[in-house]
């Protein structure tokens, strides 16, 4: 009788696991990087890796998401004991090894027609600013007719509160976000195969406005994209996008106040590879510009992984510290 009770309990627990709506996805990449800087010897060589894991559980309209991240990230500083210290998106220091650490943890649900999200998550980079990850966030979104409404706050204080309204005006998607210290303006549209995007970050601080405009299209088999990011004399651009990694001390290139960025990208497919060329020009404060040329070849492998070769040449007229970087990456998503 005891054996039958135990067997029934085990069967019930297995059934519960089988019926649970749980999914696990993730990504991993390993990079070999060689950096040759003019006037510096020897070259810098290093292997780095990054691992990410997302666990999602769902019950009706409610989801629980936990993101784990681990590995020694490119740009980290070795402590000599198997651990690494890096600066996160908010600029604070954190130390880790090859263990998986919780990065995001949040719950999404619905109350009537209002979508709710609460917890901790990264808001992502854009062409004008770096990302932030704050604990204790709360977000609510809904729609009234053709108008989208949103509210965001965190336990960081009243200055974190944001109110957003968005709609479509004659084929142009627009949104406006009011913050305590400024605004965010977004607009995008497409016509005759040409895509246009605008992002503005007006600031209440004098001479600190930022804006970005992008035009993209396709001519034959070649994709073309042009982007211009600008700021004023009291502010510096940061962020990590196709224009480059400009996140201050944690990025590959730190910008000063009043430096603008102009980027041009050409991409096409060739013999099963995606081939991309980018030229990014950074305005110099004293008229000495920096040109960054990047050549990228991406190829999916039969194993399910993706191989990517990136060659970057930096002509830095301001410092004279020209450099070339070869980065070989093996990545997989699952």
Q: How far apart are CA 266 and CA 278, in angstroms?
A: 7
Q: How far apart are CA 23 and CA 159, in angstroms?
A: 36
Residue 56, pLDDT score: 97
**Per the confidence metrics, is the pTM higher than 0.85?**
no
Short-list 56, 77, 76, CA closest to 67: 56
194-211: per-residue pLDDT in tens? 999 999 999 999 999 999
Q: Greater confidence, 19 or 162?
A: 162
Q: Cβ of 238: how many Cβ atoms within 10 Å?
A: 21
92-129: per-residue pLDDT in tens? 333 445 677 899 999 999 999 999 999 999 988 999 99
Q: Write 236-240 long-range contacts (CB < 8 A, 24+).
A: 237/128, 237/129, 237/210, 237/261, 238/129, 238/130, 239/125, 239/126, 239/127, 239/128, 239/129, 239/130, 239/131, 240/125, 240/130
Residue 164, pLDDT score: 98
Q: Which domains does the chain have, with CATH numbers?
A: 24-333 (2.40.160.10)
Out of 157-161, 184-188, 252-256, least confident range: 157-161
What is the SS3 assignment for 249? helix
Residue 100, pLDDT score: 76
199-244: per-residue pLDDT in tens? 999 999 999 999 999 999 999 999 999 999 999 999 999 989 999 9
pLDDT at 21 over 50: yes
Residue 93, pLDDT score: 39
Out of 7-21, 229-243, 256-270, least confident range: 7-21
């Amino acid at each position: 009788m005891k054996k039958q009770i135990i067997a029934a309990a085990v069967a019930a627990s297995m059934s519960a696991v089988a019926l649970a709506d749980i999914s696990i996805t993730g990504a991993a990449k390993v990079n070999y990087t060689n950096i040759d800087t003019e006037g510096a010897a020897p070259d810098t060589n290093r292997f780095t890796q990054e691992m990410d894991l997302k666990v999602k559980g769902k019950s009706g309209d409610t989801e629980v998401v936990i993101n784990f991240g681990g590995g020694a990230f490119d740009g980290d500083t070795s402590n000599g004991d198997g651990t690494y210290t890096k600066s996160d998106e908010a600029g604070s220091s954190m130390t880790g090894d090859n263990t998986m650490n919780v990065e995001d943890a949040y719950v999404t649900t619905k109350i009537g027609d209002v979508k709710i999200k609460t917890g901790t998550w990264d808001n992502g980079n854009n062409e004008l600013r770096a990302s932030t990850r704050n604990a204790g966030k709360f977000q609510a979104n809904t729609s009234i007719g053709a108008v989208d409404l949103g509210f965001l706050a965190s336990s960081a204080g009243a200055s974190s509160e944001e109110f957003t309204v968005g709609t479509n005006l004659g084929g142009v998607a627009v949104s406006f976000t009011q913050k305590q210290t400024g605004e965010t303006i977004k607009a995008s549209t497409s016509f005759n195969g040409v895509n246009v995007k605008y992002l503005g970050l007006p600031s209440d601080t004098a001479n600190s406005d930022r804006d970005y405009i992008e035009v993209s299209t396709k001519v034959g088999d070649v994709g073309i994209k042009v982007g211009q990011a600008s700021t004023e004399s009291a502010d510096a651009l940061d962020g990590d996008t196709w224009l480059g990694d400009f996140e201050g001390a944690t990025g590959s290139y730190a910008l000063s106040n009043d430096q603008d960025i102009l980027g041009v990208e050409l991409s096409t497919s060739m013999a099963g590879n995606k081939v991309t060329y980018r030229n990014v020009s950074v305005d110099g404060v004293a008229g000495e510009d920096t040109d960054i040329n990047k050549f990228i070849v991406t190829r999916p492998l039969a194993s399910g992984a993706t191989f990517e070769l990136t060659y970057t040449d930096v002509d830095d007229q301001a410092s004279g510290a020209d450099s070339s970087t070869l980065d070989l990456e093996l990545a997989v998503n699952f």
